[in-house]
Structure 1
Amino acid sequence: MTGTALLVMDIQVGIVSRIDEPDYLPRLARAVEAARAAGVPVVYVVLGFRPGHPEISARNKSFGALRPGAFTPEDPGAAVHPDLAPREGDTVVTKKRISAFAGSDLDLVLRGSGIEHLVLTGIATSGVVLSTVRQAADLDYRLTVLSDGCADADPEVHRVLTGKVFPRQAEVTTGEEWLTTLK
């Protein structure tokens, strides 16, 4: 699948712990393994800050409320969840805001690799996935969202986004349906 990459966004210990969906990680792991087997690059996008959070303004409602040391190199909660840990050949991109593109070199990495089609997964549907769909569409990427590869603390918000909002800018499918396109 030349030109396609699977984005695995914010699957970090401190974020996964907020989702109460026991089948989520195994389902996402199947998509990651299938992508690797098909030669589709897997790009992990993680939230990360320097010690002392100099990147965060007190005016930022989302990040200004983080506890000191959160999502810094010393924070165990900043690690990618061990059930989905990156492997050799995977790319890890660190972002500084909600969108995968904000404060990161993701666009450079993707364009440098000839990627034009993004398959999006992550936590939260109403956070990183929504912001990344919007920005990636504005950057002219072709988009697919794996509805069951995304999770949100609010199931109704997840339903509305994947059923009504994302289809305006992306193909929305399930992980199992996407896997059939890899064969």
Structure 2
Amino acid sequence: MDAQKIIPSRTALFLLNLQVMYAKIDPSLDALMVHTGTVIKAAQRQGITIVHCRVAFTESEAADIPDTNPNFSHVKYDPSRAAMYSIDSSAAAFHPAVAPEDGDIVIRKNRSGPFFNAPQDVHAILQERGIDTLLVGGVSTGGAVVATVV
């Protein structure tokens, strides 16, 4: 049996939480962001679509976070965290080393994973582009990456 091959036109490099706030929390992540920028360029040269996904909340989304959500319930009650995760916050922006470019897919999530409870239908966005293979990476591999893969 032939090994499955990655078909660039049907593949996306799906990057999660590569945001300014995480590099501020852990400055060592700056190097990760810069390295990921080189990975993005290599994927683009191969014709692979880049998907940038960030976590950020509107005021109403923050108010709707369940108290039982261990990852984000603090956003609901802590004004400094709410400001950091605000959809318009510079902290919630993509890190400059991995900033989206024309033609990239840009999505936002308001939970750990982007496929459920997201403000947009991520599956439909990928289907529209004919993408059926994801290469997943990002910050918070035990949270965002796992939630996306699962």
Match of 1:95 in 2: 109
Number of paired residues? 134
The structural deviation recorded for 1:57 is 1.9
The structural deviation recorded for 1:21 is 4.5
* Greater RCO (CA < 8 Å, at least 6 residues apart): 2
Query: Is the Cα–Cα contact under 8 Å of residues 9 and 49 in structure 2 kept in the other structure?
Result: no
Q: Aligned to 2:73, what secondary structure does the other structure show?
A: coil
Question: What aligned pairs does 1:10-159 form with structure 2 within 5 A after superposition?
Answer: 10-19=17-26, 20-21=28-29, 23-51=31-59, 53-66=62-75, 67-104=81-118, 105-134=121-150
TM-score normalised to structure 1 length: 0.67
Deviations 1:117-140 (A, max 9, x none): 100110011111111111xxxxxx
Query: Is the Cα–Cα contact under 8 Å of residues 51 and 69 in structure 1 kept in the other structure?
Result: no
Q: Aligned to 1:65, what secondary structure does the other structure show?
A: helix
Closer/same/farther in 2, CA of residues 21 and 63 from structure 1, 3 Å limit: closer
Q: Distance in 1 between matches of 2:147 and 2:25?
A: 19
Q: Aligned to 1:77, what secondary structure does the other structure show?
A: coil
Query: Structure 2: any 5+ residue segments left out of the alignment?
Result: 1-7, 76-80
Closer/same/farther in 2, CA of residues 102 and 16 from structure 1, 3 Å limit: farther
Query: Is the Cα–Cα contact under 8 Å of residues 55 and 96 in structure 1 kept in the other structure?
Result: no
The structural deviation recorded for 1:22 is 5.0
Q: Distance in 2 between matches of 1:22 and 1:84?
A: 10
The structural deviation recorded for 1:69 is 2.4
Q: Distance in 1 between matches of 2:58 and 2:73?
A: 14
Matched to 1:129, the amino acid is: V
Greater shift after overlay, 88-97 or 52-61? 52-61
The structural deviation recorded for 1:35 is 1.4
Query: Structure 1: any 5+ residue segments left out of the alignment?
Result: 135-183
Same amino acid, percent of matched pairs = 28
Matched to 1:64, the amino acid is: S
Matched to 1:81, the amino acid is: H
Q: Give the strand-richer structure, 1 or 2.
A: 1
**CA RMSD, 1 decimal:** 1.6
